[in-house]
Amino acid sequence: MPSLSRTLAMAALLGAWLPAQAAKPSVPAWSGVVSYVVDGDTVRVRPPGGGKPVSVRINGIDAPEICQAGGTTSRDALMRKLLGQRVAVHGRRHDDYGRLLAKITFKGEDAGGWMVAQGLAWSYRSRGSAGPYAAQQRRARGAGLGIFSPSHAVPPVYPAQFRKRHGSCR
């Protein structure tokens, strides 16, 4: 059986031969306190030691626009859950608006998964993929929760479609 140092050396050598896309560097998590909730998928997190809050877009979800049916309900639920709470931020990259795209966890729970499971957001669809929270969305839709409630006068409209039809709320 090879030694640990030999195994690590082999892994490093093998890593040098793999394409750059194969091994994505993991971005370390940091924690901070949610100081503001913009809408159902964007918060501001004050980093440890203070400083300017970081605008964080919860990766993998798309909540209703604030001016769209369900928008304020989605924002208010996220506010009740996270405002003033210490969260872990697992950053990915920045979007076109300069927001950090990140998974946010609170007491070990994935905030994006929670939002979709409650029917407060959609699993973010992209390039034919149903998104990372497709199972939670199916269950929320099946249970008629939140934006999927049969009591709504009109069926829910995915935010990207809403923006195409009506423009941005801002």
Which amino acid, one-letter code, is at 100?
A: L
Confidence band, pLDDT 50/70/90 cuts, at residue 3: very low
Query: In the chain, which residue ranges form alpha helices assigned H by DSSP?
Result: 4-17, 71-82, 111-117, 134-143, 159-166
Give the span between the Cα atoms of 162 and 166, in whole angstroms.
Answer: 6
Distance CA 34, CA 11 (A): 39
Going by pLDDT thresholds of 50, 70 and 90, the confidence category of residue 20 is very low
Q: Do 105 and 88 touch, CB atoms closer than 8 A?
A: yes
Q: Tens digit of pLDDT for each residue in 75-117?
A: 999 999 999 999 999 997 999 999 999 999 999 999 999 999 9
Tens of pLDDT, residue by residue over 128-154, are 889 999 999 999 999 999 999 999 878
Query: Are the C-beta atoms of 98 and 57 separated by less than 8 Å?
Result: no
State how far Cα 76 lies from the chain centre.
16
DSSP structural state of residue 146: G
What pTM was computed for the model? 0.81
Encoded tokens for 53: 């809050």
Take residue 32 and report the two structure tokens written for it. Answer: 């901070």
Q: What is the mean pLDDT of the chain?
A: 86
Q: Which fold has domain 29-165?
A: OB fold (Dihydrolipoamide Acetyltransferase, E2P) (2.40.50)
Q: What would the pLDDT profile of 23-65 be if each residue is shown by its tens digit? A: 444 456 999 999 999 999 999 999 988 899 999 999 999 999 9
